[in-house]
A = this chain, B = another copy of it.
């Protein structure tokens, strides 16, 4: 068991989310940067709608806490954390588009394409993705250019065809075909669509801290387990969750004919797998002792989350 209470963890997560929100606000301010021709106001407003919508900011938190394990301050980890969050926010903006998941709302507010229009939502997503690479390549991300380039490369790989974008494609292809989709298919799809960015959060923390190979591998194992646990918890919420608390409709996966961990494992099977993954995540953290208590509490939080 973790030494951090659920209340202490929630407070820590919320403090971090506020710091991320403030830093993102600065990154999306209308102060033009050097070498920039101009910042079109409408596009910037759309990026703010997509980027400053609150939320748990779980990915930046994971990155910051993984980096903290290696002595990196929150401030030092923030630029990489913001880059990661920009990639996440772009993916939500594009996923909500009519041609994709056709979602009208997001976190209780109009989805980006509803608040603006489709063209602006596509462009704002593009611009957020591009901003991620602008942010992560800045000097503030890490003094050593070799570390910055490794981080940038990892982010591109995790977000691209072999990661998040590819996973979203597999997800769209799988709609209405849940009878044909096997457990390894779903595991691979989710490892790409959701898992890749969560995994990046953990390994990039270790990269920022210039951790040795063994420590980086441990964070990679932790991140992979966390990614799958996150998705199983998500699938369980879609079946058992409280729509009001979630801020979105439940039962969506079944309605769209999507294969999920629940359709493949059943509810009990999914809960068992979740416990297994939690054990894996904790086992990976053993070498770090009590210093990894926050990451243990994070795994616990992800497995038990209610929204």
Contact = CB atoms under 8 A, between A and B. Distances in A.
29 contacts: A36-B163, A37-B191, A37-B192, A37-B196, A38-B162, A38-B188, A39-B166, A40-B169, A40-B170, A43-B165, A94-B122, A99-B117, A100-B122, A120-B172, A122-B122, A127-B161, A127-B165, A129-B129, A129-B130, A130-B159, A131-B160, A133-B153, A133-B155, A133-B156, A137-B149, A137-B152, A137-B156, A138-B153, A152-B152
A148 interface: yes
A14 interface: no
A32 B148 CA distance: 24
A157 interface: yes
Given A119-B172, A168-B123, A145 B137 contact: no
A165 B126 contact: yes
How many copies of this chain does the complex contain? 2
A242 interface: no
A125 interface: yes
Please provide the 8 A-B residue pairs with the shortest distance between their CB atoms, ordered closest to farther: A36-B162, A99-B118, A130-B160, A137-B153, A134-B156, A133-B156, A43-B169, A127-B165
A44 interface: yes
Size range of the chain A interface in the assembly: 35 or more
A227 to B, nearest CB: 11
Contacts of A32: 162
A5 interface: no
A158 to B, nearest CB: 9
Given A133-B156, A165-B43, A99 B122 contact: yes
